[in-house]
């Protein structure tokens, strides 16, 4: 009987381990930002996760030209388009639903913040940008695009 119990424990442990390995890539895909104004496609490069703008609700400025990163603190980058821009990057998978050590760029104010991602479920993620420690920040809720 003890051998059966041990086999069950080993089997369940193996299933949990396999599930954890699969969870690492659960953020890969296309996500609608909390404002509903952009889709960000998250991909894995090596052991890190990065996200680029792949859709904008309003891709053109008032002059009918592609929106530029006009608020970037780096003046040399202000002529780059927002479409295709990397907004999030450098994330490392830490456990079942946490990706950490990344950053998020806000084109509305031209600033980059430390960031972590908490996957609430397969369709919803909480992306928290902050200065210094996570306590001093803001969480945006992104929804997976089908």
Rounded CA Rg of the chain? 19
Range of the domain at 109: 2-144
pLDDT-derived band at 134 (thresholds 50, 70, 90) equals: confident
d(CA 14, CA 16): 5
Alpha carbon 86 to chain centroid distance?
11
- Please indicate, yes or no, whether the overall pTM of this predicted structure exceeds 0.95: no
Average pLDDT over residues 123-129: 97
**pLDDT score of 78 more than 70:** yes
Q: Which residue has the higher pLDDT, 8 or 103?
A: 103
Average pLDDT over residues 98-112: 96
Average pLDDT over residues 81-110: 95
Q: pLDDT value at position 68?
A: 97
Bridge partners of residue 91, in order along the sequence: 49
CATH code (residue 38): 2.40.128.520
What confidence tens digit (pLDDT) does each residue in 1-43 have?
666 544 444 344 444 443 444 589 999 999 999 999 999 999 9
Q: By the 8 A CB rule, do 75 and 58 touch?
A: no
Domain count, the chain: 1
Angstrom CA distances, 30 to 21, 26, 141, stand at 20, 11, 13
């Amino acid at each position: 009987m003890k051998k059966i119990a041990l086999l069950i424990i080993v089997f369940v442990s193996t299933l949990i381990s396999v599930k954890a390995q699969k969870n690492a890539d659960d953020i890969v895909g296309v996500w609608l930002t909390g404002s509903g104004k952009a889709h960000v496609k998250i991909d894995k490069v090596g052991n890190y996760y990065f996200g680029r703008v792949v859709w904008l609700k309003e891709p053109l400025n008032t002059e009918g030209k592609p929106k530029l990163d006009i608020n970037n603190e780096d003046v040399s980058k202000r002529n780059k388009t927002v479409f295709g821009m990397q907004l999030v990057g450098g994330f490392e998978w830490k456990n079942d639903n946490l990706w950490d050590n990344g950053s998020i760029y806000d084109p509305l104010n031209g600033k980059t913040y430390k960031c972590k991602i908490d996957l609430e479920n397969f369709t919803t993620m909480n992306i928290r940008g902050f200065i210094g420690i996570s306590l001093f920040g803001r969480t945006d809720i992104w929804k997976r695009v089908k």
